Amino acid sequence: MIEQRTAIELSDGRELIYFDESTGVDRTKWPDTRRLPPPPPTSQLRYDPLVDEWVAVAAHRQTRTFLPPTDKCPLCPSTPDFASEIPAPDYDVVVFENQFPSFSDRVKPDEITQLTEMVPVRPGVGRAEVVCFTSDHTSSFGALSPARVRTVVDALADRTTEMSALPGVAQVFPFENRGIEIGVTLSHPHGQIYAYPMVPPRTTAMLAAARRHADRTGGRNLYADVLAAEQQAGIRVVGANEHWTAYVPAAARWPFEVQLAPNRHVLDIPALTNAERDAFAPLYLDILKRFDALFDKPMPYIAAWHQAVIGEGRELGYLHLQLFSIRRAADKLKFLAGSESAMGAFINDIVPEKAAQLLRDAI
């Protein structure tokens, strides 16, 4: 749980926030000693009229840090020999603006507004932040204590509240990528938070389905009904407690996919009660251990928090965490090939009921 929150400014003007589990630490006595260039301008959003979607173009991210040696990790605490993104010599949880942001509020004054009559362009105004879960470079989220997971959840709640209030933000999306198989470029345990300036495609599809369901059922929430059906069926439930249920979706797209949802209808992380925040940690840590135990090695995964949008359709949302891996066997990965990448039509190699059974039996 967060006992002290301290915000500082890095040498290039970006914000960094320490979330400490104890009080009395003067974080301001460790300033950023680096001489950094100004942050890059924000990305460009280009509209694709063929699918009614916006695509972000962020050319400055091509130069972002790629698998640095451990002693040059930008997410470790700073040392006398290396100044990292975190000036302090130690920390609990830290959040800071990404040096190579997908979205930000730094807009070029000469931003173009049209490529063709069919393709408008606008700045990718939003925010992109990095969340460091621990100062221990060799750790992982699954190795965190329940108390530290609670601190991370509280930090995500803090950032969701603040980022949701930014002008032009449509949805706040916290997530973690783990493993080089996923494409991770920094091995230090960390996640990210995107404040999207548009409603992303998956959320758009979920909102449309939720609206149709509400219209058919007199206003019932789609995700609540799906969760209730899974709880009743039981066959795909991997774990549960008083406040949360973890289950494999009946139409899972990924070889191993679990969704963790609060048993109560909650719109976003800030709306979770203290009891719900405490109860999340043991269940999620258990699921992560099962993922690693499946093939007796660290499982590459993506953990994605789906929260309600900020504007129209907010009431249709239902907070849940989607955890999935591209590993389908000990020595095999699922690549998004022709059907998935070109057509968005997923073909799963593992029956969801079998995946749920394997996860239940993993420990």
CA atoms within 13 A on the CB side of 183: 4
Please count the helices (runs of H) and the strands (runs of E) in the chain: 6, 17
pLDDT of the residue at 121? 94
Q: For 124-200, where are the E strands, in sequence order?
A: 127-132, 171-178, 190-196
Residue 7: both structure tokens together: 């915000």
pLDDT for the residue 100: 95
Q: Has 190 been annotated as catalytic? A: yes
Cβ(239)–Cβ(286) under 8 Å? yes
Active-site residue, selected from the candidate residues 188, 190, 213, 320: 190
Q: What is the pTM of this model?
A: 0.97
257: phi then psi, degrees, rounded to nearest 5: -140, 130
Spell out the per-residue pLDDT of the chain, length 363, in tens: 999 999 999 999 999 999 999 999 999 999 999 999 999 999 999 999 999 999 999 988 988 888 899 999 999 999 999 999 999 999 999 999 999 999 999 998 777 788 899 999 999 999 999 999 999 999 999 999 999 999 999 999 999 999 999 999 999 999 999 999 999 999 999 999 999 999 999 999 999 999 999 999 999 999 999 999 999 999 999 999 999 999 999 999 999 999 999 999 999 999 999 999 999 999 999 999 999 999 999 999 999 999 999 999 999 999 999 999 999 999 999 999 999 999 999 999 999 999 999 999 999
**Per-residue pLDDT, 108:** 83
Chain-centre distance of CA 297, in angstroms? 22
What is the reported pLDDT for 220?
A: 98
Q: What is the pLDDT of residue 111?
A: 73
Integer Cα distance of 7 and 10 in angstroms: 10
Q: Smallest Cα–Cα separation from 48: which of 136, 119, 145? A: 119
Domains, in order of start, for the chain:
4-198 (3.30.428.10), 202-361 (3.30.428.10)
Alpha carbon of 226 to those of 76, 83, 221, 350, 360: distances in Å? 41, 48, 9, 21, 21
Instruction: Evaluate the CA torsion angle 112, 115, 120, 121 in order and state its sign.
Output: negative
pLDDT at position 87, please? 98
The per-residue b/e assignment along 236-259, b for 16 or more CB within 10 angstroms, e otherwise, is: bbbbeeebbbbbbbeebbbbbbbb
